[in-house]
């Protein structure tokens, strides 16, 4: 068995207990067990947290010359941590990317269903990820796909209690292609599409400290829905001290539905220990679901 040649350049596969050569700064990716995994770096203990398919090693000081993975029965990839280059000279704006319209969508933007009874209003709730696509992983190995489904079900309960017609893109652990999700809204002539997710930070950020709620939208009609939901969500989560990042525009496949008001809710960061614990709390989940349903209802009533 030979390792791919590329790996020899910057990356090593240490065996448990193996001592590695000098690495200036490092991070780790690969299979990390449940909970923060402690390794020894230069005689000092450092924690590795799971953040999705990646794990991030935190608290490694430059100049460390030995990384010891003693006691670990997992494999790691160790390499130089990606460093963001500081920009030099005037910042050039990124070229505008042109995203294709969904092939089945039309252009007529739908207005909020302000004059209809809840029973005549259809909302599609999309539990993000599913099946082999786990989404992000929490420090103790909770998979984002499951946290999303639990929250999506709670949102359905809240909306159905108020009389709305709710369709789920999935109600079990299955993989659904990204573009098939907004298709469900289109096929059912839905009035709105809400995708539920839990967030993870980029690999070069400390997953213990990054935490906020945020709602993404792509166009103005999605933004109106997103703002209504985010107002209620931010208010509810403020009570527990969670920050909110507003309603930025984002080109996600599930928000890019030109005529159906669509948004993507990132409830919290499942990668932070506190965010993980909160995602597991049924009472908190019910409050989040009620806030999302309240926001939806504000929007549906023209508020
Ligand atoms: Zn996600």
Q: Please give the distance, rounded to the nearest whole angstrom, from the Cα atom of residue 2 to the centre of ligand 1.
A: 34
Task: Please tell me the distance between residue 198's alpha carbon and the centre of ligand 1 in angstroms.
Answer: 5
Question: Which candidate, 65, 67, 68, 77, places its Cα nearest to that of 32?
Answer: 77
- Ligand 1 centre to CA of 197 (Å) is 5
Given pLDDT bands bounded at 50, 70 and 90, which one contains residue 259? Answer: confident
Instruction: Determine which helix (DSSP H) or strand (DSSP E) holds 182, and give its type and residue range.
Output: helix 180-187
Burial of 3 (0-12, 13-18, 19+ CB in 10 A): exposed
How many angstroms does the Cα of residue 132 sit away from the middle of ligand 1? Answer: 13
| Distance (Å) from CA 259 to ligand 1 centroid | 23
Average pLDDT, the chain: 77
Q: Return the structure tokens found at 131.
A: 């099946």
pLDDT of residue 254 exceeding 70, the answer is yes
Q: What is the mean pLDDT of residues 80-96?
A: 54
In the chain the beta strands, taken as DSSP E runs, fall at: 27-29, 37-41, 44-51, 54-57, 67-68, 77-79, 122-127, 165-168, 192-199, 214-216, 262-269
pLDDT confidence of 297, banded at 50, 70, 90? very high
**Whether pLDDT at 65 is above 70:** no
Digit-coded pLDDT (tens) for 274-294: 998 899 899 999 999 999 999
């Amino acid at each position: 068995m030979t390792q791919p040649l590329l790996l020899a350049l910057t990356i090593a596969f240490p065996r448990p207990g193996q001592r590695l050569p000098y690495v200036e700064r490092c991070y780790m990716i690969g299979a990390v067990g449940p909970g923060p995994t402690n390794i020894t770096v230069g005689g000092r203990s450092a924690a590795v947290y799971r953040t999705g398919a990646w794990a991030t090693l935190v608290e490694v000081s430059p100049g460390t010359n030995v990384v010891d993975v003693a006691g670990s029965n997992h494999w790691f990839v160790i390499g130089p941590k990606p460093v963001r280059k500081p920009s030099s000279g005037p910042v050039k704006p990124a070229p505008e990317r042109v995203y294709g319209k969904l092939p089945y969508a039309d252009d007529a933007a739908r207005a909020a269903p302000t004059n209809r009874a809840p029973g005549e209003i259809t909302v599609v709730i999309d539990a993000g990820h599913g099946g082999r696509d786990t989404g992000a992983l929490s420090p103790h190995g909770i998979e984002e796909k499951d946290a999303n489904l639990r929250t999506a079900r709670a949102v359905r309960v809240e909306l159905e209690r108020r009389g709305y017609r709710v369709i789920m893109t999935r109600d079990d652990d299955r993989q659904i292609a990204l573009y098939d999700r907004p298709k469900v809204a289109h096929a059912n002539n839905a009035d709105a599409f809400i995708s539920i997710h839990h967030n993870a930070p980029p690999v070069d950020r400390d997953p213990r400290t990054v935490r906020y709620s945020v709602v993404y939208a792509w166009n103005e009609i999605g933004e109106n829905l997103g703002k209504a939901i985010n107002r209620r969500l931010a208010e509810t989560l403020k009570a527990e001290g969670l920050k909110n990042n507003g309603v930025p525009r984002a080109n996600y496949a599930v928000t890019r539905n030109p005529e159906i008001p669509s948004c993507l809710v990132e409830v919290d960061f499942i990668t932070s220990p506190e965010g993980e614990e909160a995602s597991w709390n049924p009472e908190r989940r019910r409050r989040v679901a009620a806030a999302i349903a309240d926001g939806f209802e504000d929007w549906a009533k023209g508020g």
